[in-house]
């Protein structure tokens, strides 16, 4: 780290948690409340005296992809155990279960609901009156919906009634666009989901400057079936048809130009000219041309192209891990583990005008084999991912499964074994099954590791990491950042400490040498659900005792844990270490702002306030 530069520290946002006052509580530590519902043991006890009505029957009449539904119901024998599940497709079946994987306990669900609520959730007098109502938020997921009323609790459910069917007006419409950087700095990719396969329609993006010439870029299409999943629950109770995932490559973008997408638009205008035009943004829509020559369009969106490598302009990047998703209607959704997720999402939305790119470094949706949750997640982040590149890294809850090539032989992916993450999001990796890649953003070079594959010296991934670090011109791109899901550096996490380490122990020495040799400024990790920042460190020794402001050579790497995106927080060990400069048990995210080639602002936004730390300055 022989160059002079300047860095910065952690910021806070007031954490607002959506806390539902459940009559029936479930653990926030995620025992998968729906996984306890013994749907395959359901007794059919249809009772004509139980009434259910869902309204409106047609959703998205004006093109909306998210709608609130009112469900009204009455029962002659109300109890606190009565519950209502949301099913899609509406014609659900609980008759058979597919064979289970040998590593998985026999599934208790044959057809899993998307989510459920107890009948007394928002109607405290339900048990005495027998009448109640619930509001569910539904998203467009390519099929219709019905609501099923169960008595007998979740262990011995009795199917008592099924509601009328409701559906979105355009269930196959293109939805939830996700931007990502391409393999070249002047390429942007757009990934989205629809119900249209290539036998029905041609997908494309129409993009360019609003009011100017438009360009169409075709999209490739992927899908998969149950056989692509490794095991239950992804292959059995959690399976839901993923639809079709499309990716288009928008090439030769002008640096920092603002484009409008509607999956339709043209060459983007430079930011300086854009400012002259009073920041009139371009828009893009997603499009599908049906074989009868008609078109299906998405909403219009807009984005800004990336700066070229070394470009000296203001560049702002947000990084966090382990966010997951949550339900705004308070439903007892699958993992019930990410009660901070909405806080992070809302804060990112609030700050979106001062964010240029997002890195979500592993543990993305926490679907863990319940595929409907990936739709829920992409809908939750759509307002962010449709505007700025949303780059991801692979985590244990996306990839890990025994006997599938993952470095860790645990069951954390719920049988997904990486397929969902690799398909739902684009990353500029040479082999998408091996989730390591590099990407340039102006004065930044990011090297993203895949901790669910072997990274030790002599492996392909180790060679990639060294090449990524060695190949950057640090005169033009002075900010060299290493990202990974698991902690390959330092963490005061209680579970790590109990195992006698302060991070993943494998290959630690060789990575330390690489970071030191190539002058890596900052390494950021998820996996541990809290925030921590170390001193500049090499081989367990602080190379600089400064806590909040650094000038000149660091002679070490600052290691940051930023896994407080939304999942249940992780405890710190009581052991005190000399290298830990700051710890916080709270939700939040990290923000790096390259002010120029000598000054970097580091911020962490979390529960109380912004703390800024200028790490490098001439």
Residue pair 175/194 in contact by the 8 Å Cβ criterion: yes
Q: Which pLDDT value is given to residue 208?
A: 87
Residue pair 236/97 in contact by the 8 Å Cβ criterion: yes
- On the question of pLDDT at 432 being above 90, the answer is no
Q: What is the DSSP string of 507-531?
A: THHHHHHHHHHTT--EEEE-SSSSE
Q: What is the pTM of this model?
A: 0.89
Phi/psi at 295 (5° precision): -125, 145
The CATH class given to the 33-168 domain equals mainly beta
More confident residue, 287 or 214: 287
33-168 against 175-304: fold identical: yes
Q: Which pLDDT value is given to residue 139?
A: 98
More confident residue, 21 or 299: 299
Select, from the ranges 89-93, 243-247, 405-409, the one with the highest average predicted confidence (pLDDT). Answer: 243-247
- On the question of pLDDT at 155 being above 60, the answer is yes
Range from 121-130, 333-342, 416-425, 567-576 carrying the lowest mean pLDDT:
333-342
Q: Which of 333, 275, 276, 336 is nearest to 304 (CA)?
A: 275
Tell me what the mean pLDDT of segment 593-602 comes to. Answer: 95
From the candidate CATH numbers 3.40.50.720, 3.30.70.2740, 3.90.470.10, 2.60.40.380, the one assigned to the domain spanning 175-304? 2.60.40.380
Tens-digit pLDDT profile for residues 196-212: 999 999 999 999 876 67
| 520: confidence class by pLDDT, cuts 50, 70, 90 | very high
Annotated domain spans of the chain: 33-168, 175-304, 315-616
Residue pair 455/507 in contact by the 8 Å Cβ criterion: yes
Kindly give, in sequence order, each residue whose CB lies less than 8 Å from that of residue 120, ignoring residues fewer than 6 positions away: 23, 78, 80, 82, 126, 127, 132
More confident residue, 572 or 36: 572
Tens-digit pLDDT profile for residues 470-499: 999 999 999 999 999 999 999 999 999 998
Name the percent of the chain lying above pLDDT 70.
83
Range from 241-245, 390-394, 504-508, 597-601 carrying the lowest mean pLDDT:
504-508
From the candidate CATH numbers 3.20.20.70, 3.30.1360.20, 3.60.21.10, 3.40.50.1460, the one assigned to the domain spanning 315-616? 3.60.21.10
Tell me what the mean pLDDT of segment 573-587 comes to. Answer: 93
- On the question of pLDDT at 30 being above 80, the answer is no
What sign results for the dihedral spanned by CA atoms 506, 508, 510, 511? positive
Q: Which pLDDT value is given to residue 484?
A: 98
Exposed e or buried b per residue across 445-470, where buried means at least 16 C-beta atoms within 10 angstroms of its C-beta = bbbbbbbbbbbeeeeebbebbbebbe
Q: Which pLDDT value is given to residue 25?
A: 27
Tens-digit pLDDT profile for residues 89-100: 998 764 445 555
Give the three-state DSSP class for 525.
Answer: strand
More confident residue, 335 or 418: 418
Q: Which pLDDT value is given to residue 293?
A: 94
């Amino acid at each position: 780290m022989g160059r002079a530069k300047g860095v910065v520290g952690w910021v806070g946002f007031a954490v607002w948690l959506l806390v539902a006052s459940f009559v029936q509580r479930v653990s926030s530590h995620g025992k998968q409340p729906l996984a306890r519902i013994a749907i395959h043991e359901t007794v059919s006890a249809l009772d004509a005296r139980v009434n259910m009505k869902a309204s409106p029957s047609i959703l998205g009449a004006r093109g909306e992809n998210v709608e609130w539904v009112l469900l009204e119901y009455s029962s002659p024998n109300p109890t606190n155990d009565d519950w209502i599940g949301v099913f899609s497709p509406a014609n659900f079946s609980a008759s058979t279960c597919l064979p289970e994987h040998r590593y998985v306990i026999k599934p208790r669900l044959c057809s899993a609901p998307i989510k459920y609520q107890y009948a007394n959730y928002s109607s405290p007098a339900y048990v005495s009156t027998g009448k109640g109502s619930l509001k569910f938020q539904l998203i467009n997921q390519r099929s219709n919906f019905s609501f099923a009323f169960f008595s007998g609790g979740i262990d011995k459910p009795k199917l008592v009634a099924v509601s009328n069917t409701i559906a979105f007006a355009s269930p196959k419409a293109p939805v939830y666009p996700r931007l990502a950087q391409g393999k070249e700095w002047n390429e942007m990719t757009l990934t989205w989901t629809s119900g249209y396969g290539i036998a029905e329609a041609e997908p494309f993006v129409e993009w360019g400057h609003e009011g100017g010439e438009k360009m169409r870029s075709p999209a490739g299409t992927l899908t998969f079936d149950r056989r692509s999943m490794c095991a239950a629950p992804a292959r059995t109770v959690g399976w839901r048809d993923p639809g079709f995932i499309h990716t288009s490559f928008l090439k030769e973008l002008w640096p920092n130009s603002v484009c409008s997408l509607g999956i339709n638009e043209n060459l983007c205008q430079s930011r300086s000219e854009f400012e002259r035009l009073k920041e009139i943004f371009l828009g893009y829509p997603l499009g599908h041309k049906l074989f009868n020559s008609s078109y299906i369009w998405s909403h219009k969106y807009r984005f800004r192209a990336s700066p070229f490598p070394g470009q000296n302009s203001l560049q702002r990047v947000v990084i966090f891990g382990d966010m997951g998703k949550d339900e705004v209607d308070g439903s007892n959704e699958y993992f019930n583990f990410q009660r901070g997720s909405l806080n992070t999402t809302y804060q990112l939305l609030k700050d979106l005008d001062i964010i240029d790119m997002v890195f979500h470094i592993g543990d993305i949706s926490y679907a863990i084999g319940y595929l409907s949750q990936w739709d829920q997640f992409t809908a939750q982040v759509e307002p962010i991912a449709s505007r700025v590149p949303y780059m991801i890294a692979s985590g244990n809850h996306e990839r890990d499964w025994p006997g599938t090539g993952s470095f860790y032989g645990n069951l954390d992916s719920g049988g997904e074994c990486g397929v969902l993450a690799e398909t739902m999001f684009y990353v500029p990796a040479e082999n998408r099954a091996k989730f390591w890649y590099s990407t340039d953003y102006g004065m930044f070079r990011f090297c993203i590791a895949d901790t669910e594959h072997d990274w030790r010296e002599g492996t392909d991934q180790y060679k990639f990491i060294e090449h990524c670090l060695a190949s950057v011109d640090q005169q033009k791109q002075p900010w060299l950042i290493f990202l990974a899901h698991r902690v390959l550096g330092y963490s005061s996490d209680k579970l790590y400490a109990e195992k006698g380490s302060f991070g993943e122990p494998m290959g630690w020495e060789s990575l330390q040498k690489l970071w030191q040799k190539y002058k890596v400024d900052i390494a950021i990790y998820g996996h541990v659900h809290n925030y921590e920042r170390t001193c500049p460190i090499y081989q367990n020794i602080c190379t600089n005792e400064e806590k909040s402001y650094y000038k000149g050579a660091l002679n070490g790497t600052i290691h940051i844990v930023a896994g407080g995106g939304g999942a249940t927080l992780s405890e710190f060990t009581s052991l005190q270490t000399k290298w830990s400069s700051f710890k916080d048990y709270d939700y939040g995210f990290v923000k790096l702002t390259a002010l120029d080639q000598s000054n970097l602002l580091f911020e962490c936004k979390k529960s109380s306030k912004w703390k800024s730390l200028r790490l490098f300055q001439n």
